[in-house]
Structure formats: C-alpha cells, structure tokens
C-alpha cells in the first residue's frame, strides 16, 4: 500500500476568468472546489490508477470537514488528525484570454502539541502496512523544519521507502531520513543549493549534489522540459512531447505518483522516469487538478524522449 501525507491540506478553488485585471470587480466564468494540498493531488492520481492508497494528514475546521467529505465521495481511504483553527484555501485563477495561472496560497492552521501527537500516532500505525510513503508539500505552522526527516526515519524503520516532494528547510532536513527519492523542481533545488540553476547541466549537477547529501535518488523537474533523474546507475533525462497544457497545477504531484508506482512495481529507473513524465504531461492536459485521462497517458508514454546524461 502507498501512504500519502498531506500536513497542510486545503480546499483548492479554481477560478476561471476572461482576464485578471487588478483593481476591478471580476465575475467568475466558473468555480470548482476540491480537496487539495500536494499530497492529496498525489492520492487522487494513485486512486485513478487503481493503486491501494491511504491518505493521512491534518485537517481543521469546516474546511477540514469538506476535505474529508470529498475524500469519502471519491472512495479514498483516509486517516486525518484534527487540529484547531481552519484548513487553508488555495485559489488558482485561470485567465482564459492568455492561459496564465495565478495562485494565492493561504498559510493554514498552527498545529498545537495535541494535534501533532494525534497525527504522529496515526502515521505510526499507517506505515506499518505501507510499502511506499509519499511526503508532499509545505509544513503548517507549529512544526519544525525537521519534521519530514523525522517521518522519513520512522517510515524507514518500518521498512517503507520514502519519497519527499517539498522545498526549503523541510526538504533539506528530510535528507537526514534517507528518502529513496526526492523531487524538487529546478528553482527549489537551486534555492537549497544556493545557486541559480538553468538547463540540463545544472539540473544534473543539482541532482548529484542532493544525492551526496543523503537522497537515494533525485528527480529535478523542469516543467515542459521534463525531468533529470539521478540514481545509483547514473543520470537520465525524460522529456514529454510538446503540448498545450490546460492546467499546470498538480503536474509535479502526478509525477510523484508515477514514481511511487514505479517503486511499488519494482521498475528500473528508465521505465519509472518515462511513466512519471507521461503521467505528468497527461495531468497537464486535464482541467481538473490531480487527475488525467487514460487515453492521454497511453498517448504520452511512447512519445516521452529518453536520454542518458551520464
């Protein structure tokens, strides 16, 4: 079973407008609310792939009620601790005229010791039956930067393999837990390593640097340019075909889901990279975040360009 962790779950709101004009009153063409946060995006993709998945995390207030109700409606198993306050809302504004997307991300609740203890207890029980654990997204207020590292160590002690998709200190500190894979994007990797990165050579350098810091493998995602993956057998690059994306939000989460499937199935690195890139591209063609069309995935798989860099 794959365990997904969403510490800072949200109600994701997708606003579609003709154009975004600051200082004016804007009426929405459409609005859609979904249970979100990076970990839950991973969860929905895995559920669509018919994987056995359990979502754990923290929810708060009436927004937390909505998140759990949405998961119930989707038939997704979940085990969320409850916290005081209110789970955040994250707004994605899509401009129909330009295709641009603007995101507004609330900080989320502050976790007190009771909520942290409740979550940790639930996580401890969950990982006993999980072979893969995915830690995704930001940490809410009240948690130390090393919390993902602690969870990774706990999961590893139970025999689970851990994937981390985070940024900043939480990503850096997670390396102390020896995750089997971390997936920063190019900007996040550069911020962590103190260097502005651009292009394949920089991505490959960053991936090998993060491996040296404790990651078993590193996938540096680059949007339309695909991903550079460094592992024990070298560095490879997967690039999707050129597409016109309909929704770029959650593409990295779909990529994480693809890598989780590869780990669960025991695939080699090239097959996992191809699948993760194809799934990410298929997600970009779907308006709904954390979803894809099977026909798009089947179309993308043979069209992913693979190259060995070292």
Cβ–Cβ under 8 Å, residues 6 and 37: yes
* Spatial CA neighbour of 44 closest among 291, 250, 265: 291
Which residue is catalytic, options 12, 165, 253, 296? 253
What's the rounded Cα separation, in Å, for the pair 71 and 275?
25
What's the rounded Cα separation, in Å, for the pair 63 and 273?
35
Give SS3 for 86: coil
What's the rounded Cα separation, in Å, for the pair 76 and 1?
13
- Six-digit token pair at 170? 């939480």
Burial of 42 (0-12, 13-18, 19+ CB in 10 A): buried
3-state secondary structure 107-157: CCCECCHHHHHHHHHHHHHHHCCCCEEEEECCCCECCCCCHHHHHHHHHHH
Residue 202: active-site member: no
Location of structure tokens 């851990």: 162
What's the rounded Cα separation, in Å, for the pair 231 and 83?
38
Q: Residue 241 carries which DSSP code?
A: P
- Backbone Cα Rg of the chain: 18
Neighbouring CB atoms inside 10 A of 33's CB total 13
Cβ–Cβ under 8 Å, residues 148 and 170: yes
**Residues annotated as part of the active site:** 253
């Amino acid at each position: 079973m794959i365990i997904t962790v969403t510490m800072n779950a949200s109600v994701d709101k997708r606003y579609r407008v003709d154009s975004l004009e600051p200082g004016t009153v804007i009426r929405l063409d459409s609005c859609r609310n979904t249970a979100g946060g990076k970990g839950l995006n991973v969860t929905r993709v895995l559920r669509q792939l018919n994987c056995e998945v359990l979502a754990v995390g923290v929810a708060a207030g009436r927004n937390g009620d909505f998140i759990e109700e949405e998961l119930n409606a989707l038939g997704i198993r979940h085990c969320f601790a409850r916290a005081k306050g209110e789970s955040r809302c994250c707004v994605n504004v899509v401009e129909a005229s330009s295709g641009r997307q603007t995101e507004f991300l609330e900080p989320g609740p502050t976790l007190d010791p009771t909520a942290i203890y409740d979550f940790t207890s639930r996580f401890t029980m969950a990982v006993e039956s999980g072979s893969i654990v995915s830690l995704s997204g930001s940490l809410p207020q009240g948690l130390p930067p090393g919390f993902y590292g602690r969870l990774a160590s706990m999961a590893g002690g139970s025999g689970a393999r851990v994937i981390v998709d985070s940024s900043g200190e939480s990503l850096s500190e997670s390396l102390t837990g020896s995750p089997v894979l971390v997936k920063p994007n190019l900007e996040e990797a550069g911020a962590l390593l103190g260097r502005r990165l651009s292009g394949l050579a920089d991505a490959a350098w960053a991936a090998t640097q993060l491996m040296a810091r404790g990651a078993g493998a590193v996938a540096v995602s680059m949007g339309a340019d695909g991903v550079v993956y460094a592992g024990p057998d070298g560095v490879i690059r997967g690039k999707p075909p050129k597409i016109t994306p309909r929704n770029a939000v959650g593409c990295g989460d779909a990529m994480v889901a693809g890598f989780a499937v590869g780990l669960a199935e025991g695939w080699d690195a090239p097959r996992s990279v191809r699948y993760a890139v194809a799934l990410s591209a298929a997600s970009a063609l779907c308006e709904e975040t954390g979803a894809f069309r099977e026909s798009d995935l089947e179309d993308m798989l043979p069209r992913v360009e693979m190259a060995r860099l070292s």
